[in-house]
Amino acid sequence: MLSPQTPITKPVKLSVRDMDFRYGEKKVLDGLSMDIQAERVTAIIGPSGCGKSTFLKCFNRIHEVSSAVKVTGDIKIDGVDIYRGGIDEVDLRRRVGMVFQKPNPFPKSIYENVAFGPRLFGVKDRTTLDGLVESALRKAALWEEVKDRLKESATGMSGGQQQRLCIARALAVNPEVLLMDEPCSALDPIATAKIEELIFELKENLTIVIVTHNMQQAARVSDYTAFFWLGKLIEMDLTERIFTTPRERMTEDYLTGRFG
């Protein structure tokens, strides 16, 4: 639907080669390789426990916040290795934003949530901040709903609004890539539809990688789809092709609900 009939191939934004991910003794991801194109939406699907969320978190190294893990192989952003290429994780995370499974606004005002990122990078000027906040909220299609209550606490918003606020917060630092880890799993259908619409608009100038266990969602929003199973990449192709004529038997079985 959204994927063009004859895709114009975009430059590769993120490339992964022979990547293993170990958590303690356990190998969670095994020999992964794939290319993710710029300004496209790439969906990652697969049964729970297949390592799709873990994979996503490797792109901004956010898993390092909570635990010691071991990643081998290469992950490159614009051709630069993000683990060994001299980028530190703080820089990386500014360029690679993330939206989490459950909305996680800070217990601050709506305005402060969005202004948080720019402030981290030394933006102090009030007018500049105001502009950044407004533009990020507009991009997240939230501005009209909250412009009169920017000073109110973000924790009082509905779940869908909170999630769009988290998207706005991520957008405010002008990332090149946006990682979305099952962003709608805690939301109702209407809120989900809004976020999906947003994803479609955002890919104009953003590379989006979205993990979802909702296959319809992957079909609706993504240009490319990758199917993971037990820590391995089984198949990756244009979304249309994956959902109509998958090459692998396993993909077909999963999509038709024979396991998963």
Q: Which residues of the chain form contacts with another protein (CB under 8 A)?
A: 60, 62, 65-66, 88, 90-95, 97-98, 100, 102, 104-108, 116-123, 125, 128, 132, 135, 166, 169-170, 173-174, 205
Q: How far is the CB of 137 from another protein (least distance, A)?
A: 14
User: Which CB, 61 or 76, lies closer to another protein?
Assistant: 61
- What is the DSSP code string of 81-125? ETTTSS--HHHHHHHEEEE-SS----SSBHHHHHHHHHHHTT---
- 220: tokens are 């609706």
User: Which CB, 144 or 204, lies closer to another protein?
Assistant: 204
User: Which CB, 57 or 220, lies closer to another protein?
Assistant: 57
- Whether the CA torsion 108, 109, 110, 114 is positive or negative: it is negative
What does the alpha-carbon distance between residue 256 and residue 170 come to, in Å, rounded to a whole number? 35
User: Which CB, 6 or 127, lies closer to another protein?
Assistant: 127
Q: How far is the CB of 107 from another protein (least distance, A)?
A: 5
What does the alpha-carbon distance between residue 238 and residue 42 come to, in Å, rounded to a whole number? 9
Q: How far is the CB of 87 from another protein (least distance, A)?
A: 11
Q: How far is the CB of 56 from another protein (least distance, A)?
A: 11
User: Which CB, 100 or 243, lies closer to another protein?
Assistant: 100
User: Which CB, 95 or 241, lies closer to another protein?
Assistant: 95
What does the alpha-carbon distance between residue 99 and residue 8 come to, in Å, rounded to a whole number? 27
Task: Give 188's Cβ-side CA count (13 Å radius).
Answer: 5
Q: How far is the CB of 195 from another protein (least distance, A)?
A: 17
Q: How far is the CB of 6 from another protein (least distance, A)?
A: 25
- Rg of the chain over CA atoms, in angstroms? 18
Q: How far is the CB of 151 from another protein (least distance, A)?
A: 16
User: Which CB, 8 or 190, lies closer to another protein?
Assistant: 8
